Chain A
Amino acid sequence: AQKITQTQPGMFVQEKEAVTLDCTYDTSDQSYGLFWYKQPSSGEMIFLIYQGSYDEQNATEGRYSLNFQKARKSANLVISASQLGDSAMYFCAMREDTGRRALTFGSGTRLQVQP
């Protein structure tokens, strides 16, 4: 069974600083994908970044990067140069290539960016 753990219910960061949101996962599959989504107060789920289990390099998308440590089964999201608009819930999710093909989400981390 797959499982996603986000141990930080809430995080604060000063504007323009970097912040790391933690995510660990558990799966017996060899092929899987890890995703981060942002959910602002408006409720929409916005895809941020993806990392495949076979990808050797950490994924990056603009100010977002994913610190992927396969042996430790962690997939932390790093947001650089935080902006006020980054304040939102952030969800880590995993999708296996076999078994259940839908996303399994963590419980989320609420990030608040302070001016």
Chain B
Amino acid sequence: GAGVSQTPSNKVTEKGKYVELRCDPISGHTALYWYRQSLGQGPEFLIYFQGTGAADDSGLPNDRFFAVRPEGSVSTLKIQRTERGDSAVYLCASSLTIRYHYEQYFGPGTRLTVT
């Protein structure tokens, strides 16, 4: 079956603009995660969903970042008033459930560049 997909693959935006990043998880996966990976570092947790609700958003760096998953499938990460420090690869992952023994499958990522 299809894996996790993310669009766009690349996004270049100007400082101060609003961006939306989309994630389409593996069908049937109830848990969805967003991570951010800066150059040379491991991914860092942003937020995760169990179904439609955000179960833990403690990784979001500030209130410019917001994510939704209205129907329990596709998720959108929204960044307002982008800053150059937001430049990174944004990774989405999904897993069958949130239980610890289920692996997470990652999408190819969206590379965000803020100029």
Contacts and interface: CB of A to CB of B under 8 A. Distances in A.
Contacts of A50: 101, 103
A104 B104 CA distance: 12
Interface string B37-57: 000011111001000000110
Contact of A105 (B31, B44, B89, B99): B44
Interface string B47-73: 010000001101100000000000000
Contacts of B56: 100-102
B45 A44 contact: no
Which of A33, A45, A106 has the most B CB atoms < 10 Å from its CB? A45
Interface residues of A, number: 27
Interface residues of B, number: 27
B104 A103 contact: yes
B21 to A, nearest CB: 15
Contacts of B45: 100, 102-104
Given A43-B89, A45-B106, A100-B58, A105 B101 contact: no
Contacts of A44: 106, 108-109
B2 to A, nearest CB: 14
A22 to B, nearest CB: 15
Nearest to A54: B101
Contacts of A52: 100-101
A108 B100 contact: no
Which of A93, A103, A105, A107 has the most B CB atoms < 10 Å from its CB? A103
Nearest to B56: A100
A96 B93 CA distance: 16
Which of A31, A100, A107 has the most B CB atoms < 10 Å from its CB? A100
Interface of B: 31, 33, 35, 41-45, 48, 55-56, 58-59, 89, 91, 93, 98-101, 103-106, 108-109, 111
25 contacts: A31-B100, A32-B100, A35-B104, A43-B109, A47-B103, A47-B105, A50-B101, A52-B101, A91-B43, A95-B100, A95-B104, A96-B100, A97-B99, A97-B100, A100-B45, A101-B48, A101-B55, A101-B56, A103-B35, A103-B43, A103-B45, A103-B104, A104-B45, A106-B42, A108-B41
